[in-house]
Structure 1
């Protein structure tokens, strides 16, 4: 008889009398940034969790990423080249589908510009094993260059104004008091998902290309009865948006356009009325106070229609 055991120390299944930990698939997305990806790989290999696989998805890079990554990966690591770049969600979904077909228990989505504490995955999986109501969780994300300073430990969202408040943002690690924070979403730089919950919540929404995918994904988990949590005992350090920084205006465009899409898809009627009045007022103010302020109307219209003016990136 197969016995299932859960315990706080590392857990999990006993097969033929041998205890093994739950399997975790760590998915790292690369796009024209193999140097950071290789550095991330070296770091992840040092973690103390002993039942994980690494899946690298190359999101149709146009540099030498594929060649460099093939030289750098080990025999137990997988490289999946995407045939076209449809964005963050679609790229990670390639890895998620592969991992689910391999029978994984948890999925860890990890940005390639993140450094992890060697205990982070043990802490997160142990917590998820103990708290089965949590469907998706993130660690506290700290600044790579100011390592004692927190960027986020999860976030709360004001659906009327579309504003997100990062928990513990800018505070020192020593100022964190709670171990588990209930929140609306966790940042896509690093998050861990219960594989069985994806049957209900689905894959990462692919309507955004960049930004707000994890916001909506977390909303889907909550809509299906799971909790979203920031786990402050787990730590990673985030360098920042190195890839998007290489393309002028990309970050601003998708941040505003996708905010409109997010509220349109996830807000109630009251949220939508208040938000649209607020955003139109913001666009009018920008028209008179910002250089080329009319661009914000473009972002707003693209959000309402779902049009992607950066489609050339997908070629």
Structure 2
């Protein structure tokens, strides 16, 4: 009898139980044809003020009672980082060395996705591997190919329209040549970790982050520890980007949270930047938000 490889999955839910239930169905269907894999799924509810816990619990009891799906409700909403850290801790206790972090608004269409990702992380000996992410029918670039420099951050913010055009060209190249590559950070909507490498003090993310910059800080931590982060666009997921966040936070609130999180990245992780550089960077981000408002109004 072939021993099944156990893979953990953390899904964070906040009010959007319909997305979570849809993803559970997606995972169940794939698990039924994945003979050599055992998917342990932990749904962490971030203290949803609606009936999410009751509805998901009923779904698990009536539809998936024989599946290794677990609901882990939190008493308070502490955000993306703390919620996912709770799920990772739970799955470590289930002896999962390889753990996926998944947004509940993704869809997996490749039945070999889990095996492909497991092969990718083993072959590359990476701490983290991210798949290609398809949004609005287009393959997205990895979050950050290289470690951000002072000049790179500032120029990207001040010259955002030019950066958008450059990225459009890069996406076209990626569509033609889906090359596996070492990167600084991958999209947080879906990625796989080797827990033996990626965790620090039993945690994956900085608990102070409520939303945003989790992947950037994670990438810096991997960089500092000489660990590999890999982007593998040969397999992919579909992502309804921002579907959950935009339901609960307007643009102004999102930008404020982004700046708070990015400040933690600058102050506690990028000690190579001086105070003047940090001030200029934060000012350039305000310019970026203005650009984004103008671009959004033109759509």
Shorter-chain TM-score tier: 0.7 to 0.9
Match among 248, 256, 259 for residue 259 of structure 2: 256
- Aligned partner of residue 204 in structure 2, secondary structure: coil
If each structure's helix is expressed as a fraction of its own residues, which one has the higher value? Answer: 2
Q: Cα RMSD (Å) of the superposition?
A: 2.8
Match of 2:245 in 1: 244
1:197 equivalenced with 2:184 (yes/no)? no
Q: Which residue of structure 2 lines up, in the alignment, with residue 158 of structure 1?
A: 148
The answer to whether the 8 A contact 1:92-1:109 is kept is yes
Where do 5+ consecutive residues of structure 2 fail to align?
158-162, 292-299
1:99 shift after superposition: 0.4
1:66 aligned residue: 53
Please tell me whether the aligned partners of residues 150 and 173 of structure 1 are also in contact (alpha carbons under 8 angstroms).
no
Q: Residues 62, 227 of structure 1: CA spacing in aligned structure 2 closer, same or farther, 3 A cutoff?
A: same
Q: TM-score, normalised by structure 2?
A: 0.80
Residue 308 of structure 1 corresponds to which residue in structure 2? none
Whole-Å Cα distance in 2 between the matches of residues 282 and 218 of structure 1?
A: 20
In structure 2, C-alpha distance between the alignment counterparts of 1:199 and 1:278, rounded to whole Å: 29
Q: Distance in 1 between matches of 2:117 and 2:7?
A: 11
Aligned partner of 2:214 in structure 1 is 213
C-alpha distance in structure 1 between counterparts of 2:285 and 2:71, whole Å: 44
Alignment of 1:136-175 (within 5 A): 136-143=128-135, 146-147=136-137, 149-156=138-145, 157-160=147-150, 161=153, 171=171, 175=175
Give the structure with the higher percent strand: 1
Matched, 1:188 2:171: no
Gaps of 5+ in 1: 1-17, 291-315
**CA offsets per residue over residues 67-89 of structure 1, 9 Å max, x none?**
11012121221000011111001
Give the alignment's TM-score, normalised by structure 1. 0.76
Q: Within 5 Å, give how 1:263-282 maps onto structure 2.
A: 263-270=266-273, 272-280=275-283
Residues 200-252 of structure 1, C-alpha deviations (whole Å, 9 max, x = no match): 47421112100011211222122222101111111001101122212223322
Q: Secondary structure at the match of 2:92?
A: helix
Cα-to-partner distance string for 1:239-267 (whole Å, 9 max, x where unaligned): 01122212223322112222222112221
User: How far apart in 2 are the matches of 1:155 and 1:92?
Assistant: 21
User: Which of residues 44, 48, 52 in structure 2 aligns to 1:57?
Assistant: 44
* Contact 2:79 2:210 survives alignment (8 Å): yes
Note if contact 1:168-1:176 (Cα within 8 Å) is conserved in structure 2.
no
Matched with 2:228 is 227
Does the CA-based 8 Å contact 1:25-1:53 persist in structure 2?
Answer: yes
Higher relative contact order (CA 8 A, sep 6+): 2
